Amino acid sequence: MTAEFHLFLPQMRMSLDTLVERARAAEAAGFAGIWGMDHLAPPLAVDQPMYEAMTLNTFLATRSEALALGSLVLCDALRHPASLAREAVTLDHVSGGRFELGIGSGSVPEELVTYGVQPHAVGDRVTRLGETLDVLRALWSGEAFDYDGKFFRMEAAQQLPTPIDRIPLVIGGTGPRMMRLVAKHADWWNVPLHQLDRIEEMRPRAGDARVSVQERVVFVSSEAEREQIVETATRRFGTFGTVPGSGSELVDHYGAHVDRGVERFYVWFSDFAPPATLEAFGAQVISAFA
């Protein structure tokens, strides 16, 4: 069995030094990438400090060697596609081709209302995302083009430089319109937790996109501390979408997903991924899928 493991690390309640420490520990442990989140305020924790997604990606790119970098996922409504296209290419060059663009229509509609971001309606947000993806691809070609959409209009638009190679696109969702965008644009289809049981049903609609999954993990590094570890994680996050297990149990868990066609896992640790956890997970779990 082979699979990629990437660290999902929301950039809140952590100093920059701590984030760099986590990134370097993840790299040493065998993780293939590190991903943050993209919000105007931390979900369910608006009073907590949080760093901006793309700026932090750039910062971590200069302090790591091989990790892929991205966000699960950037909210399309927060950025004009021409600005996003240039930011992405700049980060692509800064990182030596390690940047991947995760993008979606917005997972927390309430924050769009709070900050006056348009559009609010789900249908309009999906339409806008589709236009953004069209514009990104056109701008990354380096050729001049015209575009006339519902949300964006461009005349002889052009950007240089172009990406080093191809900036991978990560798109999630299972709705009919989102699946059409996945099939048309995505390199990776990120399957939402509540839709994991539909992978086989939905897979044909994803086109050539490879399958990824994000899960919160309660890593039981010591059997003697299992009860305490699980209780702490449950108090923090509840039980939905949370996978508890020792190294061997998690190997079995991920192996079952690999058998269903999943090729990449974004791992969100309930203990906020201290270096010791990352090292142990790498030795006990990632090594089994190398």
Q: What is the mean pLDDT of each run of 10 residues along the chain (290 residues)?
A: 95 97 98 97 90 98 98 96 98 98 91 91 95 98 98 98 98 94 98 88 96 96 90 86 92 96 97 97 96
pTM of the model: 0.95
Q: Write down the architecture of domain 4-289 according to CATH.
A: Alpha-Beta Barrel (3.20)
Backbone phi, then psi, for 251, in 5-degree steps? -60, -45
Q: Where are the domains of the chain?
A: 4-289
Instruction: Identify the sign of the CA torsion 49, 7, 265, 243.
Output: negative
B/e letters for 95-111, b = 16+ CB within 10 Å, e = fewer, are beebbbbbbbbbbeeeb
